[in-house]
Amino acid sequence: MVRRFLLVLLLLGIGLTSSAAVFASSYMFRPMPEFSGLGTLSVRKIVNDTNKGLWLVDSRGQLLFHDGVNLKPAVERTGRPVTGVTDAAMVGNTLWLVKDNHAYSYSPHSASLERRNISQIPVESVIARGDAAWFANRRGLYRLTDTEPDVEFVPFPYPIKLAGLYVTDKHLYVATQQGVYQYLSLDEPPTKLLADHHITAVAQDLHGEPWFGTHQGVIRGNSGALTILGENGSQPAVLSLQPTPQGVWVGTTMGLYLMTDAGEIKAHFMPSDYDRYALPDRRVQGLHQDPLGNLWVSTPKGVSLLPAGSHLFSRIRLGERSGQIDANFISDVVYGGDDHYWLATDNGVFKLSSGFDVVEHIESVGRVEQLVLSDGQLWILQADGITLYDIRLSRMEIIEIPEDIKEQPLERIMVDHFGSLWVGSEGGLYRYWPEFREWMSFGRHWFTEPAGGEQITGIVEDSEHQVWVGTTYGLYQFDAGGLHLVPDTAKQGGIVDILEDRMGQLWIATNYTLQVSQTLKPLKLQEVKLTPEFAQPYCIARGSTGIWLSSSNGLSYISYYADLKRHLGFNSGLLSEDLGSRACLQDNGQALVLGFRQGLLRISERALFDEFSDEPELVLSAVWIDNDIWPLGDSWSQLRRLPYGASIAFKLKVLPSRSALYQYRLVGENNQIGEWNIVSQPLLPVGVLSAGRYTLEVRRVSPSGNHPLALSYDFRVQSSWQVYQALFGILAVTVLVLILLFFYWRSKLFKVQAQQLKQSVYQKTAKIELQKKQLNASNVHLQRILDVRQHVMAQLSHELRTPLQLTMGLLSDLRPLSQAPAKVDIAERNVAHALHVAEQILSRDVFALMEPEKACEQLVSPIIQACCMSWQVEAERKQIALCLEDQTGADTSICLAPYHLEIMLGNLLSNALKYTDNKGGITVSVKEREQQLIISVSDTGQGMTDQTKAHLFDSYYQEEPQFSPEAGFGLGLSTVKQLVERYHGMISVISYQGVGSEFIIRLPLSVSRSGDDHVSPVPQDTMEQYPWLMVIGEHTLAETEWAKLLSEHYHVTYTRGDYEDLILLDDPLPDVVVIDHQVLLPSDEQLLKALSEHFFCGNGPVFVLLSNSARLDVQYLRNVSWADLVLNEPLQGQPMQVEIEKLLDARRAEAVKSTEAAEHRGKVWQESVHSLVSEHFHSSDFGTSAAAKALYMSERTFQRHFKQAFGLSFKDYVTQFRFEQAAVMLKQGDKVSDVALACGFKDPAYFSVRFKAYSGQTPAEFACGRVKQD
């Protein structure tokens, strides 16, 4: 039972804590930097001015005046500031001061400061009571007035240590360090109260009950109990008290407290470094409520303001603390029928109760842009999708969106009366039918923004089922399957919000103004007049008798008749962070709800229309005549005469409060009444007026329709001197006639010049048009080619990048859930690699991945290992053994661009895995040879045919489907070769059908290195003296007799048995290769056969096989057909040398014949190409493709052979040939146009430009030069 009771208490405490947090957040203390430099000013005393404004005494003793906008120092008649002030009190129009421990009177109107000699003992305090000022020191009280010169003295029973003077309705309190003296009448002795306490403040609440502040806490009533305010045993001292209708504010050394009239603590406020609307310091040394109901809070670090009416605002703020919404901003809010609010934030969707308690948080949807509530279902708009949430079943459903729609960000949604969903995006307008799961597209062709980039900002269906679409350009009406622009909305800065009120009127908020149409069919928009300053609308919400508009200037209420009835600026309890989004509505309780970056705000509409405290009388302080200021003194109500022709403006002494809306107008003679203008600043401009009598009227706007007049001021504008007017008129007419005559003469002259200029321009234009037509013919074809190329590259890059980005996001989400994080890391690296390549293609060109200027030094071993690990998963899936033999050092590095080494090795591994059957093997070998990195990728796949090997590195080449069921686009090996050649490397391949393939890459190392196990190339001088003989076998062969004999006639080198050593050697190659049969594996013989037949193609070294077989049968000789000579052991040196010399002589003779045949074939092929160009150079369509087809070759092979034979590209060769023929024709005197057409140029102008670039002369100049020479 006890446990249940404790649990109930715990839950109750949690609920009270949450409610207190919401309650406390309703009070936002505005920092005073927003109010003219009071941010760091420490104020000791604040006093109300008689008219309006505040007098402040700062901690330095300076007297200041704050008029609601500006802070000004009080000065004497001599202009010196009033300083040394410790206390002040206002009685009538006189400010009584304690200055330099003496009593002073100060007149703000005349700036006169007068000392009053009342005592030789230092004066410590002053207070206003009735029509007199009461000063006090340790001896007694002194009463002073303006009308009575004598000072009335009331002594204390004995000298005291004064703590302050305080006045209530009936009593005067003298606070001391040992109690307080209560004076009911000065004729009677005082009553001493609370003798055991040090009294620091005295105040009286609205029920007439006195409150006393002490060093231990606060006491309510003359004999009330002490209320300790601190927590955890602390007892903060009370420094100030201020009763308000919301309770009694208590300033202490440990923050600010709000207590009920019964003495219960209602809220506690402390400073915070993370909240700009918290108190600046915890020591609250002064509290003051001005006549407008604003609470001023003074601390050592500055002054804060709690505007009147703050208690009307209910807030739940954004943040991570308890009782707050864990988000950064609110983008939308909808109201449910169950008294709940749904919020769209950057951290998902929140469901709040009517008491602003967080009931539910849907965090999984991420950042939400808009919410639509329809039939118990919540439509959630995200930047990249739409989610449907069933509130009753608490079930989420992700709406499937077609890929073409999903490519563009989604912007706005709307559910119509059919239940279909309208979706606006950058790609246009769409309609989704949930019942059939079908999408209907209306496209974006109806956008009319000339500059492009138009976006949808709102979709609304009115009561007559018309659909209105707002964009950043204007308002569109959906009719008969199309959208039509409303003309009056095209130049208003774009649509911000659309709303239909209860009267069936359509309100349109744009970036510049607010418009309303009283009818829907047809739409007739009229502008609504707002405040004089520019106000950018944010959101429109329905009201009981009008609409509410949130804007950059605050919150405005506008009636159905488009009249501004109420305006709340940011000098009220409203904050600029409360507005800024489209999150605004009116709930069923007639409360206005707003949300943005500060949190969610709710205020009752009825409370907004309740009358605030009475406004003080408005006072005019000065009239501005052009640049002169005429002060208005006590005789301001008398008729003033103002000069004619001057710009006139009247200045209010203080600005009206934020709770009331004021308007002013001018009434002239004969009841000429001007329009009412809104008062938004102290200066009321009326402009330049004609002579006559005027009345300035200022009224307070009341929602009830009764607008009381707050100020009326009569003045007269003097008449001007009539003679001066006549003289000025004659002079003006004379000057005007002269100007007209001058312009008439100039017009005649201009007509003649214009006619001449027109004829000249016409002739030049005709020539330009002719040239323009000629240029257009050549530019159209070029532009078409460029457009196609750009479109293809942009589409390809985009289609690659979008799925890769989505995959990267999914991998990041799967990382915490994966049981194999290493595999996820591998996949994520591969996707990042692909994204890098796609970004380069999109930003530059198709060959951006091969730019050498981005090369940097990279360690080889980590990259090779990471790449092999990336392909390990695929190899395991196909049951292929992937082995890595890394013989490089830990510091081996190579200079490549990022990802280029991964591209090379990855493409080779991809091909190896693709063409290797299950349970096969792939070996990656990495070595260092003579400052080069050697990468070998071998597999046990099916091998390649001769045709495949001939075109292996051609772009877009693919095997026949029966040989390659998983064929790609044919770009992989072509890309590898281009990358290898770009870094001055080489790539080669050894392949034999049924055995496998091996790709070998040679790349230069960054640092000069030399390995221990490699074949050193033979110096050139040694090769010239002796033939080079390489022995592949065990090192013991070097000790044999035949080996020693051969060393006398050949340069002999030995290697351990790596057959690829032949390939890794650069020119010159060894003349003879002797291979011991014992070091060969069964698969090596097939590879050596392919090496001899396909790699060297009969031009390589002589292969000699050393065999220990006793019998050379036919099968054995077939298996070793790659060998030119087979010798059986035991060997003899002399016969072996004779056989080798015979093979060398035969090989040299074949080489000579092969070279002569190749030279003959090359000459014949060059002659055929030259003949082909001579026959077809006149055709403009003749190019590389046509020439390759005529010679029965592929275009790529033709280009390669042509460049090897001629030393330049085929295109440059044809161009050069055409210009040579053109020079001959021009020399013969042919026309330029005929020469251009005869040489394959369609446009003679284009031919002239190209010919000049070729010869340095135009065709005409070239022809003239030739004629002169002849």
Average pLDDT over residues 314-341: 87
Query: Beta strands 172-176 and 162-167: pairing type?
Result: antiparallel
Instruction: Identify the pLDDT of residue 808.
Output: 72
Instruction: Identify the pLDDT of residue 806.
Output: 67
Q: Which residues pair with 97 in a beta bridge?
A: 88, 104
Q: In what order do the strands lie in the sheet with 348-352?
A: 330-336, 340-345, 348-352, 358-362
Among 103-107, 303-307, 411-415, the minimum mean pLDDT is found in 303-307
DSSP code for 325: B
Q: Which residues pair with 257 in a beta bridge?
A: 250, 268
* Contacts within 8 Å (CB) and 24+ apart, 558-566: 558/514, 558/528, 560/501, 560/503, 560/505, 562/516, 562/526, 562/528, 562/529, 564/528, 564/529, 564/530, 564/531, 564/661, 564/678, 564/701, 565/661, 565/701, 565/703, 566/608, 566/609, 566/661, 566/701, 566/703
Rounded Cα distance between 632 and 713, Å, is 11
Minimal CA–CA distance to 1236: which of 778, 784, 768, 776?
A: 778
Minimal CA–CA distance to 256: which of 287, 277, 235, 233?
A: 287
User: What digits encode the pLDDT tens for the residues 1139-1169?
Assistant: 788 777 777 777 667 666 667 777 888 888 8
Q: Is the model's pLDDT at 586 over the cut of 70? A: yes
Instruction: Identify the pLDDT of residue 957.
Output: 59
Q: Is 684 exposed, middle or buried (0-12, 13-18, 19+ CB in 10 A)?
A: buried
Q: Is 849 exposed, middle or buried (0-12, 13-18, 19+ CB in 10 A)?
A: buried
Instruction: Identify the pLDDT of residue 790.
Output: 65
Domains 620-720 and 847-1010 share a fold: no
Q: Answer whether 0.85 is exceeded by the pTM.
A: no
Q: In terms of pLDDT, which residue wins out, 952 or 200?
A: 200
Q: Work out the angle between the directed axes of helices 1210-1227 and 1195-1206 (0-180°, nearest 10).
A: 60
Sign of CA pseudo-dihedral 1206, 1212, 1218, 1223: negative
Residue 687 structure tokens: 């402009």
What are the φ and ψ backbone dihedral angles of 733, each rounded to 5 degrees?
A: -65, -45
> How confident is residue 959, by pLDDT bands cut at 50, 70 and 90?
low
Fold of 1015-1160: Rossmann fold (3.40.50)
> How confident is residue 1019, by pLDDT bands cut at 50, 70 and 90?
very low
Q: Which amino acid is at 421?
A: L
Average pLDDT over residues 1109-1120: 60
> How confident is residue 845, by pLDDT bands cut at 50, 70 and 90?
very low
**Is the Cβ–Cβ distance between 352 and 358 less than 8 Å?**
yes
* Contacts within 8 Å (CB) and 24+ apart, 135-139: 135/96, 135/98, 135/103, 136/162, 136/165, 136/174, 137/162, 138/162
Rounded Cα distance between 557 and 541, Å, is 10
Minimal CA–CA distance to 1040: which of 1136, 973, 958?
A: 1136
With helix as H, strand as E and coil as C, how does 339-374 read?
Answer: CEEEEEECCEEEEECCCCCEEEEECCCCCEEEEEEE
Q: Work out the angle between the directed axes of helices 860-877 and 900-914 (0-180°, nearest 10).
A: 30
DSSP element (H, E) containing 1082: helix 1082-1090
Among 504-508, 687-691, 800-804, the minimum mean pLDDT is found in 800-804
Rounded Cα distance between 289 and 46, Å, is 9
**Is the Cβ–Cβ distance between 183 and 170 less than 8 Å?**
no
Task: Let me know if domain 620-720 sits in CATH 2.60.40.10.
Answer: yes
Sign of CA pseudo-dihedral 65, 70, 71, 77: negative
Q: In what order do the strands lie in the sheet with 43-48?
A: 43-48, 54-58, 63-66, 71-73
Rounded Cα distance between 164 and 186, Å, is 17
**Is the Cβ–Cβ distance between 601 and 576 less than 8 Å?**
no
Q: Which amino acid is at 73?
A: P
Among 46-60, 76-90, 1116-1130, the minimum mean pLDDT is found in 1116-1130
**Is the Cβ–Cβ distance between 1123 and 1115 less than 8 Å?**
no
| CATH code that applies to domain 1177-1269 | 1.10.10.60
Q: Is 489 exposed, middle or buried (0-12, 13-18, 19+ CB in 10 A)?
A: buried
Residue 78 structure tokens: 């001599």
Average pLDDT, the chain: 80
Instruction: Identify the pLDDT of residue 592.
Output: 84
| CATH code that applies to domain 847-1010 | 3.30.565.10
Domain ranges, ordered by start, for the chain: 620-720, 847-1010, 1015-1160, 1177-1269
Q: In terms of pLDDT, which residue wins out, 252 or 710?
A: 252
DSSP string, 696-730: EEEEEE-TTS---EEEEEEEEEPPPPHHHHHHHHH
> How confident is residue 843, by pLDDT bands cut at 50, 70 and 90?
low
DSSP string, 613-668: SPPPPP-EEEEEETTEEEE--TTTTS-EEE-TT-EEEEEESSPPPTTSEEEEEEE-
